[in-house]
Amino acid sequence: MLRILVAVVTIFLISSETSARQVTIATWNLGWHMDIATAQRWIEACGKTYVEDAGIGRWVPSTDSNATQGWDVPNTFDIENWDTAVLPVCDAYAYRGVVRVNVDAYRKRQEQIANFISRSVPADIIAFQEVSGEQAVKEVLPGAGADYDLCGFSGYKVQRLVIAWKKSLGTKVSCEVEDSLSLPANPDSKRPRPGLSLTLSLGGAIVRILDVHLKSSCVSPFDGGKLEGNGNNCMILQQQIDPIESWVERETSDGAKVVMLGDFNRNLWHELRDQSPVRTDGSAASGIRPSGVLSRSLIEEVFDGQPFTTDLRLVNEHCQTNEVGAVLCTLSEIRDLDTAESDLLASQNYLGCRNPVGLDHILIGPGIEATAPAEHTSIRRLGMTRQKDDGTDQVLAISDHCPLVVRLNL
């Protein structure tokens, strides 16, 4: 009888452990991050000289004595034949003045990122944004990524997505680019980034992760970023709603556990607190959206609970900072912070990143619970680019975003 009781208890404990498996997940926009080989090509290209050709409205290569280095060209996109599918803009690390990046400084930046991940981002799965590819991520993961598997892609623009996970965690079922989020029917100038979808088998459970980096400059309904407005950026973000909802409805239909995370470039907390009707015609978000009707809220349009498996929830967020910073973080979910408040929260004694809150989020579907709020992890002084007046002693910021980390029960 005792043996039977022990066996039953053992099975129960094993079952409970399996059903409540804990996994730590992080999202981090690394800010135009490149592998060292790409960085060297970028530094060489930005160090070349150009002159403005008024006739074509472009900057063209030149060896004239009055030519301008790429670092100083006002808009890198105006340099003739500059390919953003290959190289970032030259002012990617500029902050309060021109920064002519050198290779040694870039190597030091990689080292600082690697040390920070090892020390402060204890995640089993990390979804990255703004990386040039898998090699760029390998070079900053602990042990050069030897203990990780990666899901990424090439092509598109150089601000790509990569998801890394510990090999011991589980096995890959699929890794797919969600091309529809890039709005392929649009002209190149109005095509945002695609999504990246990873499906993992974790101890028998199927977990799907969608890493996103949505259209920028349409952040909040409280600061003029109205999805239903006529601004070009908001119109593009409006177009991304249907592809996101299609992915959610498709990928949750078989009961898989789903996480959506990344740089939404949208303050989803403000959308939830905006009292305006979700749709411009006042119809319910749970029904089919009539042709020509616009949405005012991405989160309420996509995650409308119909069907119930699509009801992803926004994970509560907390800031890893002092009491004043914590108050500012709470306020940022209710209203726009003014310039002084934003600057304080972004300063090195608080979170340290220029985009501290309101852009990066984590959403979880049915069957997943967060054990605590997601943590905006402070990068403090590492978020500052600095150099002497003559450009020496250069230190590059590791990112303009702070990582967001959460522990989940799957």
For 290-300, write each residue's pLDDT tens digit. 999 999 999 99
CA distance 80 to 77: 8
Backbone angles phi, psi at 329, to 5 degrees: -60, -40
Q: Position 366: which residue type?
A: P
Rounded to whole angstroms, how far apart are CA atoms 93 and 100? 9
CB atoms within 10 A of CB 330: 13
Print burial letters for 127-164: b (CB count within 10 Å at least 16), e (below 16).
bbbbbbbbbbbbbbbeeebeebbbbbbeebbbbbbbbb
Nearest to 191 by CA among 203, 179, 183: 183
pLDDT at position 5, please?
45
Q: Model confidence over 64-80: pLDDT tens digits?
A: 999 999 999 999 999 99
Residue 189 is predicted with a pLDDT of 87
Map residue 25 onto helix, strand or coil. Answer: strand
Give the length of the chain. Answer: 410
Distance from C-alpha of 207 to C-alpha of 172, rounded to nearest angstrom: 10
Question: Using an 8 Å Cβ cutoff, are 214 and 192 in contact?
Answer: yes
Q: Which amino acid is at 401?
A: H
Q: How far apart are CA 285 and CA 302, in angstroms?
A: 8
Which tens digits make up the pLDDT trace of 84-121?
A: 889 999 999 987 789 999 999 999 999 999 999 999 99
Report d(CA 339, CA 387) in Å as an integer. 25
Please give the sequence-ordered ranges of beta strands (E in DSSP) within 243-371, or none if there are none: 257-263, 313-314, 317-319, 360-364, 369-370
Low-confidence residues of the chain: pLDDT under 50: 1-18
DSSP class of residue 188? Answer: G
CB atoms within 10 A of CB 290: 10
User: Helices 103-120 & 36-47, crossing angle to 10 degrees?
Assistant: 140
Largest separation between any pair of C-alpha atoms in the chain: 94
CB 216 within 8 A of CB 193: no
* pTM (2 d.p.): 0.93
CB 264 within 8 A of CB 212: yes
Residue 277 token pair: 């009707």
Of the candidates 216, 332, 346, the one whose C-alpha atom is nearest the C-alpha of residue 273 is 332
The encoded tokens of residue 400 equal 């303009």
Contact 406, 370 (CB under 8 A): yes
- In order of their start, the domains of the chain are 21-39+98-409 (3.60.10.10)
Q: Give the model's pLDDT for residue 11.
A: 41
Task: Phi first, then psi: give them for residue 204, nearest 5 degrees.
Answer: 95, -20
Residue type at 260 in one-letter notation: M
- Res 45: pLDDT: 96
Q: Which pLDDT score, from 0 to 100, does residue 20 have?
A: 63
Query: What pLDDT does 296 receive?
Result: 97
Question: Which residue bears the tokens 């402060």?
Answer: 120
Helix (H) or strand (E) holding 171: strand 171-178
